[in-house]
Structure 1
Amino acid sequence: MQDTLAYYNNNADAFVESTFEISMEELYQEFLPLIPEGGYILDAGCGSGRDALFFDKNGYRVSAFDGSEAIASLAREKTGLSVQHRYFSDIHESSTYDGIWACASLLHLPLVEVPDAIGRLWHALKPDGVFYMSFKIGTGERIHNGRHFTDADESIAERWVQDLTGLEACRMWRTDDRRPDRDDQWLNILLNKAPASPEKLTTGGKDHHFLPKLCQAIKAADRIDMAVAFVKTTGLNLLFPDLVGALQRESDPARIRILTSDYLDITDTGSLRKLVLLHDHGAQVRIYQSQGSSFHLKAYLFAGYVENQQMWGKAFIGSSNISRQALQDGLEWNYQVDFPPDSGYLEAASRFDELFQHPNVVPLTDNWIDEYEQRRKPPEQSVEPGSDEKQEVPTPNEVQQEALEALDLTRLEGYRRGLVVLATGLGKTWLSAFDAVQVGARRILFVAHREEILYQAAETYLRIKPNSRVGFYMGKQRDRTVDILCASVQTLGKETHLERFDPRHFDYIVVDEFHHAAAPVYHRLLSYFAPQFLLGLTATPDRTDRSDILSLCDDNLVFEYPLFEGVKGQFL
């Protein structure tokens, strides 16, 4: 090693000049995307400082060192950076750098010293960091032009890195030497360190949100139990997509149980209506009727199984109710209990089972919500973080506002049916909900041919009309006494089901994907009902039978805003 350092000290000028301008762009593209913006990079064995300078100019924080004192001095002059004179044996940092770059540097160490140097650098790398190093292709040690080289191939490199603690991924690939007078091949090695194991305590605030941990646990769990003093629509909206996703898994839907309360009348009715919608997806939702007593639980329990059927459990016990502030940026402490090894999870799960069967606990229904809405007197001032949150009512965008004006005008002209064409992404369902409010509709029917569209429509309508009863008419579900009915055309379109409704039962009917309306099942439904207004919606009306479809809406094309216009107007 001393001979190699002597070589570089004696030939520093020539070495720096011959390597400083070499383009390493392809390797940068492999390394830098894995470093966080403004991350801290160690250029270990930096040579001319070429790479350290590139990192610095691209906004990264950089430390650089080289074992040759002469080269370190020239690199300082060349780059203006504080390049240190250090050896690999001087590396004692711990979890300091987001990235470590050891390009063609470790190869000058004796073979016996390489694993220790890699270990030192690895220890200096932060969790979730990335470590790049390179060696010339070969299988041993050699002396060439007064320098010592340790060459490596993939099998040698694998032995060096296989025991690194927290190694999450290792990628190796070969490249040709970038210098025009060389025909060597290089082995490139890129190591990813696993993220740090999550802290037991989530403290909230801007940098330590509780929400990501909950969402991650929901996605991983087979059993999900939540018990909270209150639920706000603002918070439930944040969890709802992941909860629905867990219930709709094709292979193994999750079992979800949610328990909240009427304590202090803080839980808003909009969130309760949405919990009923979650019940329609398959969740069990119950209410603890406090009857003047307190109910201060904030507990989230998750469980699943690993490949050998060993059960795992995770509990979060703390201060967060289901509100936006409590889940996102409020200062809330929630402590994580993991089983195994901590049996505290099992105790919490057992207590939840008991509480779910408590005499004060009742199933959540639309009737219960109606009664609660009548007697509810929420506190005039906030009693806990997020307790006074209110979900902002969405408003129409410019295109939807134009369409609403056109719909209002068409009704003034005497039309009772109309077709609206909006490109996908412009919010057809939102438009229909806004228009239903505009006409003051009391009972609404939303018809589509796919369940996922019906579920999405139900969520949308609850955002616009949060105190409405929402139900479904599809599969085995046959809700009738609701304000908004989302119905499968395949089910409701059958005569035996149509006859269960008076033709004038619905004030306002929406038929989504109206380009399918030429089918007989649509004809039966459209011929049977006589609402105050029927709205057909489509994004793709250009069919050979377009005139037939339009005739089902009394030949009334109310409004059209196709894809090109959406892009041109920067709405898409």
Structure 2
Amino acid sequence: MNPTAFEMLKSLDTAFNEDLPTKENLQAELIYNNISQRKSIITSLEQLLKNCTSFDFAVAFITKSGLLLLKDCLHLLEKNKIPGRIITSDYLNFTDPAALSEISSFTNIKIRIYNKNNFHAKGYIFKRKDDASIIIGSANVTQEALKANEEWNVKLTCTKNSKFYEKTIDAFTTLWNDSKILSTDWLLGYQERYNLSQKARQKSAVFNLTNAVPIIANAMQKKVLKALTQLRQQGKQKALLISATGTGKTFLSALDIKNFQPRRVLFIAHRGQILYQAEKSYKKILGNNISTGFLTGRQKNFDADFIFATINTLSKEHIINYFSPIAFDYIVIDETHRAGAHGYQRIFTYFHPAFILGMTATPERTDAFDIYSLFDNNIAYEIRLQEAMKTNLLCPFHYFGITDIEIDGHPVDDNISFNNLICHERVIHIIKKAAFYGYSGTRVKGLIFCRSIEEAHALSCAFNKEGFHTLVLSASDPPQTRNEAINKLAQAEREGGLDYIFSVDIMNEGIDIPAVNQIIMLRPTQSPIIFVQQLGRGLRKYANKAYLVVLDFIGNYTNNFMIPIALFGDNSYNKDNLRRCVSDGKNLLYGPSTVNFDAVARKNIYLSIDTARLNDTSVLRKAYTDLKNKLGKIPALSDFTKFGTVDILRYIEKFGSYHSFLQKYEAQYTIELSSTQEEILTFICKRFAAGKRIYEIEMLRMLLLNNNSLFSEFINLLQKNYKIILTSEEKKSIINNLTNTFTISNEREKYKHCIFIKKVADDYMIADEFSYCLQNKPFKDKLKTLLNFAITRYQKYYTNNYPHTSLCLYRKYTYEEVCYLLNWPQKINPNAMAGYFYESTTKSMPFFINYISSKQKRVAYTNKFTDNRHINIYSKKNRKISSSDAIHIYSTTEENHLYLFVRKPFEQKESKEFYFLGEIKAVGKPTPAPQFNGFEIICELTVPVRADIFDYLIE
């Protein structure tokens, strides 16, 4: 007999919760990895660990990489004396003995080994006072499983007196009792078995590599090679390849040369070490029998078919004149961002090859030199850090933003004295953190970046006194010294080798040490470009290197806001976006890579973001110049999005329109508009360019295409193209926006010419003055480009509307935008809307909350989330429970709609936007709040707040 739906629900109630409480957090949840939804298994585990009173894990495999992702959280539990038990196995000798040793060092964790059968369980139990959450699925404790793999796990929450909880604990207890205590003797024996298994795996990998087919292009490289071929077919003789460090630019150039079949090749770099590495790569691709030679301070091989030359040697007059200007068919210039220097300019002037290829990871320069123009703005391909990670071209990395120490009660900042930088307390702090987070492999092979050579030497000496093998490399060291140091760092054995190389900037670029498994940053971030260059030193894949550890010691530095820009490639310069990057870093990077900030480091970055002037004219002008140089022309509106630079809306906020910015700062921009046309352009930019509603945008575009269009025809167009049927309130709202009656009186005068339609009989058509303005072609073209840009933004961000609104969940809106998107007849002064406002004609009531966490609150009546579906909200001052405010909020007779908008209280002054969290309803009864002569409301959200947004807001 099939069970009824009621019987099934009853069985679930009995299994998971015999007391039948109605808590929101009792619902089952699928736990998985999905970067587009900002979800990861590691984030779910961390959230549960931070809120538990004890925990039990039963997992088949644990690796150092997986443990590393949990280390910060486990350390916090240790400090708070939260006990835990872990069962794992020696099945297939896969679990890393180093990970077992590290786990056993936590004073709050007991660990046992199950080795009776082929143990393959993956279960996690998180106990709280009255209930527990249990995750059962497919994820082991490895970096791939917790962050990147397609893993399915179910989280179930139940009370402690339920059958499900009892059976799960019984099963765990049985395994625990049948498992071995992790002893030193057992671990030593397992280490031997593990090492033998590792050697067998490595031998198999070497065999496969040795017997592999010749190196061929991967999918990404094929795209680049195709692009280079197409450029040459178009008659182009120069091209620039922009590709993140570690993605194989040198291999790519060799593959293209293999296709091109040149007679002679010249490869140019600024250091000999790069040349020797390039020659090895070329021989792997083109064969060991190619004729190669070097032009350096020590070698002068003029007659080889493939010449690898340092720029300093080649640019000398007697050297360059040895060659005919057409001696080489193909020239490669590595690290091309240096090509603004005089020596490179001489190369470009002297040689005339059939093709010249420039390669760089960072074409942007701090001196504003236009690298792109050297290559006629022919960008063959661009693959930055995020895309390289997405396509698995780089080694995963785990970044830890660590608070630098306080000295005599003062944090490390931009003005710290030299003596404090190198003091013993700081050295021990760095060493302890480096040991805690560790490295991939059997020994550390690290780079440490300092702010000065003097600091590097002093810290190197201090490290050596603590038993490390380190030295300093600087630009004054000869190539032989550098090569010896690099070889010692990379060697397998520690004896006779180096643990760390200290440097300032010599290791930023061009030096290839794939074995690097730990990078320590002991300097303020002065540039996202340099940050990525230094990070890139460790991102090359290497045998037996599963990941790179990056330790960034963060002080109270002015430029800390550059860290999220560099890590996540977010060039929007939107402060809220940057904060979200810091808050939700684990879920924003592709693959197994993660980003973690400790509490104080995060606070320091937030402070830097708060005080930074991200819409400063100098910032916007530099971003514009960089993009113009890249394109070789004045950028179009769409180019800012296409090439991932500063959001064009920052220019609109600052200058009113992109046209106004160009008029002020671009000498080549010659378009002149009348004052009326500029007024209209500014109005449309500020009101509609963000693309948050399609109605007005499409009506204006329709008028541009045909100034005889009628409003009734526009309604039909919306239904045909967007499947939208307008309500009467929406029609009125559009008309109010396009006749400038929505705007409040003082702004109505400011934009008095911004009337786009006029009433004719029972319809609307184009207004006379607007029609006249459109006769000016430059103006009409400007509007057309602007409206197309707005439509693109709408289609990308704002199509998934919340029921009965033009709003989208978790998008951000200003006071003014909320007014017209809720179809209000007129804009309301923001001061009147603060807190909440009831609009009688639409019966809508938005609540605007500046959310302050309990730790930050300055008054006793701060609005507060009690969970992701409930929030306590306070009325305005001097409001009684019998007031109209309470009537509108609690009314059951009126069809009122209450909407919740929340923002961080320190949201940027430049753009006061609130996250839209959906519709709410008041539950229970209002409670008097005599402390301000008002009342408290408990509100329930129709849709629970998405996890990443909720965590960010309450953080």
What TM-score comes out, normalization by structure 1 length?
0.37
Q: Which has the higher helix share?
A: 2
What TM-score comes out, normalization by structure 2 length?
0.23
